[in-house]
Amino acid sequence: MDDFREVGRRLSNWGRWDADGQRDERGTTNLITPERVAAAARLAREGKVFDLGIPLGSDGPQPGGGAGGPGRINPILLLAETGADQDFPGGMHFADDYVFMPLQSASQWDGLAHIHYDGQMFNGFPATDVTPHGAKHLSIETQAKGIVGRGVLVDVARHRGVDWLAAGEVITPDELDEVLAAQGVELRGGDIVAVRTGWRRKFLTEGDPASFMAGEPGLGLASCEWLHRHEVAAVCSDNWAVEALPGEDENVILPVHMVLIRDMGMTLGEILDFEELSEDCAADGRYDFFLTAPPIKFRRAVGSPINPLAIK
C-alpha cells in the first residue's frame, strides 16, 4: 500500500495556479476554463433536466452522533410564522421559516478548508487558518462562480450488474477505465466526474441511516493518480465520502480525502442522487451532460449544500 503522503507529494498542485503574488484558493476547478464551459453547454441538446440533489429533510441519511460518521444530523425545519394570529390590512397572511443544519449533511461540496494534515491545508495555508469564526482561506465561497461544466457519469454499479457495491469495495483506475470504455465516453480536461456506486439506491431501498453511514464502496488511493492524470476538475459520488470505507489501510482514515483536497486541491461532492440520470444514460447511451452545481456562498464555511442539475 502506497503511503498517502508520498502520493500527495507526487500529485501536489501547490503553486500551480498562483499568479501575481496571489496564492490560489480554488484548486482544480481552475481547470474549468471559459472555453470548456461553453463546450459543455452545448451538451444540453434536448432540455432534459435531472435533479442530482437529495431532499434536505428530517428523513435524510444522517444518523446523528453515536452511529458512525462525523455525528451530523439531518436538517431541522422551524416555522417562525404560519399565518396564525396575524392581522394585516387586507387580510394578508404569511409563513416564514428557518433551517438548522450541518452544511455537509446532504448533497454538498467539501471545500478546500475541510481537510488538513501535518499542520497545512492546500497550497500551504496553515491549518490554524480554520478558526471558530470560520476559514480565513480556502472557504467554500472561493468557488462562488459555481462548479459548472461537462459532467461524466461513471456508472460502476450498472457496469457490474448490481444494485449497489458492498461497503469497503475499492474502485480502481482499471475499473474506471473499463467502465468508461464500455459506456463509449472519453474524459477531457476540466471534466466533473460522477461515480455511481449504487449507495443512494441502497438508502432509498433500506431507509437505514446507520447502515448507510457505517461504511461504503468508493475510490481507492490509486484513483487519485487517475484523476490527476485526466485533469479532472472535481469528483462527486452517491456515497458520503467518495472513497471506500473501511479503507485500504486500517491505520489511516480518509487518505483519498487528504490527497485530493489537501494536496491536489480538488473539491469533492458527496451524497448525490444519480438514479434517474443513470437510467436515462443507459437508455440513450450518452453519459456526458452539462452539469451545474454552485455552492451557497457561506462566508468562511468549509462546505456547502448544493442542488446539482444535469442537463442533456
Q: Can you say how many angstroms the Cα of residue 310 is from the centroid of all Cα atoms in its chain?
A: 14
Q: What is the rounded CA–CA span in Å between residue 123 and residue 137?
A: 10
- What domains sit in the chain, N to C, each tagged with a CATH number? 4-65+102-311 (3.50.30.50)
Q: Which long-range contacts (CB under 8 A, 24 or more apart) does 276-285 make?
A: 276/50, 276/51, 277/50, 277/52, 277/153, 277/194, 277/310, 278/153, 278/155, 278/157, 278/158, 278/196, 280/48, 280/50, 280/312, 281/153, 281/155, 281/183, 282/155, 282/158, 284/312, 285/183, 285/184
Q: What is the pTM of this model?
A: 0.96
When the pLDDT of each residue in the chain is averaged and rounded to a whole number, the result is 96
Per-residue pLDDT of 109-157, as tens digits, reads 999 999 999 999 999 999 999 999 999 999 999 998 879 999 999 999 9
Q: Are strands 309-311 and 288-292 parallel, antiparallel or unpaired?
A: antiparallel
Read off the amino acid at residue 18.
Answer: D
Q: How far is the first Cα of the chain from the last one, in angstroms, to the nearest whole number?
A: 40
Residue 255, C-alpha cell as written in the block? 487518505
Q: How far is CA 154 from CA 43, 92, 136, in A?
A: 17, 50, 35
Per-residue pLDDT of the chain (312 residues; tens, 9 = 90+): 689 999 999 999 999 999 988 999 999 999 999 999 999 999 999 999 999 999 999 999 998 865 445 689 999 999 999 999 999 999 999 999 999 999 999 999 999 999 999 999 999 999 999 999 999 999 999 998 879 999 999 999 999 999 999 999 999 999 999 999 999 999 999 999 999 999 999 999 999 999 999 999 999 999 999 999 999 999 999 999 999 999 999 999 999 999 999 999 999 999 999 999 999 999 999 999 999 999 999 999 999 999 999 999
Q: Which of 78, 66, 244 is nearest to 156 (CA)?
A: 244
pLDDT at 112: 98
**Bridge partners (DSSP) listed for residue 49:** 311
Helix (H) or strand (E) holding 177: helix 173-183
